[in-house]
A and B are shown apart, each in its own frame.
Chain A
């Protein structure tokens, strides 16, 4: 593949991920796994298994960045991009370990407050996780399309065969309302 072809391929991959077409990740995995492992093992102190996990992590980040419009330029190939992510992940993990060693044991009020807020969200996550499957299939799909795939209203309307964009918004609010009621019922019980 020429450089120009690689750039076009990368653009196409991002475009497909934005449309929620996750199958492309499987193709990329098969196509680039070996080179990713080879490069990571060559450049960092990492074994094959760790490199494979880093590759999966990199693919997930690629997906997230594509959906959240964080990929602005396509100068490199998707392979170079993934290797860049993988290398950064490896380096950050190493640094993260080193970083924790110097933390003070004094209580920081702002940090405590922040931790509490984080714990609130963690609590919410647990409850939502245990209740989300109680939603009907259409609601589960709608919520996934909105919050994970980042699809536009028009795209979701077409996929779920909803009559109109207005009807989509009504449907969305209804699904969120049902879930919220389930979640807060749990919160009250606990």
Chain B
């Protein structure tokens, strides 16, 4: 019995007794002085060991704390709201992707007439580099037309533009400069030069100019001007007449659907 009660001291100190057992143990301490003395001794012993361990753990944690990155309020904000930061970042990325896709789509669809109906006019001006005059005066033009022939329109534009600065009356040069601009979707630059050519009354490139301008007007949404030119092209019975009819039908169908 005595041994049982003494064994209970450790259980009591470590909170292992049930409520009933605890009450019985506390009653036993009050009446048994030996038990009380042993209890005090073990209680004090437990306090000593607990304090030693506590000191050791505190020191260990202090050392860990010293070795850690200093506390940073900002990093907590990040970790606390990580989920939302991730969601927001993903949403932002998706939005950017969507916008980029939409812009590309718009860019393509903005020039749907050009991309579907326009192709580079043939080089009637300077067929090949070999047969052309190698005179330095025409060097820029020759190079520009060479690039035009091999479909390097940006390089062609650069050379032809330089040449145009020196000779603004050269209608051949104007036509291919305008065409290079249109092939690169520089619509307003192309339009300006084509209108100049049209106003000059140039007949050699007339059908090309009319066709190019009709497509430009369609891209700009100027349906009336486009229609006017397309009717004329259709009635001219040239190589663009069939396509002009097609476009007129398309315009008619679109306007009737509204």
Interface residues of A (CB under 8 A from B): 22, 25-26, 29-30, 33-35, 37-38, 48, 52, 56, 59-60, 63-64, 67-70, 120-121, 124-125, 128-129, 132, 143-144, 146-148, 150, 176, 179-180, 183
Nearest A residue (CB) for B43: A121
Let me know if A33 and B41 touch, CB within 8 A.
no
Cβ proximity bits B55-85 to A, threshold 8 Å, 1 near / 0 not? 0011011101100100111011001100000
Let me know if B71 and A144 touch, CB within 8 A.
no
Question: Can you list 29 A-B pairs, Cβ within 8 angstroms, ordered by A?
Answer: A26-B64, A29-B61, A33-B65, A33-B68, A34-B76, A35-B79, A38-B80, A52-B65, A59-B61, A60-B58, A69-B16, A124-B41, A125-B47, A128-B45, A128-B48, A132-B48, A132-B52, A143-B45, A143-B49, A144-B53, A147-B10, A147-B42, A147-B45, A147-B46, A148-B46, A148-B49, A148-B50, A148-B53, A176-B42
Let me know if A30 and B53 touch, CB within 8 A.
no
Let me know if A124 and B40 touch, CB within 8 A.
yes
How far does the Cβ of A101 sit from chain B's closest Cβ, in whole Å? 28
Contacts of A52 in B (CB 8 A): 65, 71
B24 at the interface (CB under 8 A from A): no
Let me know if A29 and B65 touch, CB within 8 A.
yes
- How distant is the Cα of A49 from the Cα of B215 in the complex, in angstroms? 74
Partner of B44, one of A30, A63, A125, A150: A125
Contacts of A146 in B (CB 8 A): 10
Let me know if B44 and A56 touch, CB within 8 A.
no
Contacts of A64 in B (CB 8 A): 50
How far does the Cβ of A26 sit from chain B's closest Cβ, in whole Å? 6
How far does the Cβ of B30 sit from chain A's closest Cβ, in whole Å? 13
Contacts of A38 in B (CB 8 A): 71, 73, 76, 80
Contacts of B44 in A (CB 8 A): 121, 124-125, 128
- How distant is the Cα of A87 from the Cα of B40 in the complex, in angstroms? 32
Let me know if B45 and A34 touch, CB within 8 A.
no
Given A70-B15, A146-B10, output 7 extra A-B contacts at Cβ < 8 Å.
A33-B68, A34-B71, A56-B58, A121-B40, A125-B48, A147-B50, A148-B50
How far does the Cβ of B35 sit from chain A's closest Cβ, in whole Å? 14
Contact of A147 with B71 at beta-carbon distance under 8 Å, contacts A35-B79, A124-B41 already known: no
What band does the interface of chain B fall in when counting residues whose beta carbon is under 8 Å from A? 35 or more
Partner of A144, one of B41, B49, B54, B80: B49
- How distant is the Cα of A155 from the Cα of B139 in the complex, in angstroms? 98
Nearest B residue (CB) for A123: B44
Let me know if A69 and B58 touch, CB within 8 A.
no
Let me know if B71 and A25 touch, CB within 8 A.
no
- How distant is the Cα of A146 from the Cα of B46 in the complex, in angstroms? 9
How far does the Cβ of A124 sit from chain B's closest Cβ, in whole Å? 4
B14 at the interface (CB under 8 A from A): yes
How far does the Cβ of B9 sit from chain A's closest Cβ, in whole Å? 10
Contacts of B16 in A (CB 8 A): 68-69, 150
Partner of A56, one of B14, B61, B75: B61
Nearest A residue (CB) for B62: A56
B104 at the interface (CB under 8 A from A): no
Partner of B60, one of A26, A69, A128, A147: A26
Contact of A69 with B15 at beta-carbon distance under 8 Å, contacts A34-B71, A38-B73, A147-B42 already known: yes
Nearest A residue (CB) for B49: A148
Let me know if B49 and A147 touch, CB within 8 A.
yes
Closest 3 CB pairs of A and B: A124-B44, A68-B15, A38-B76
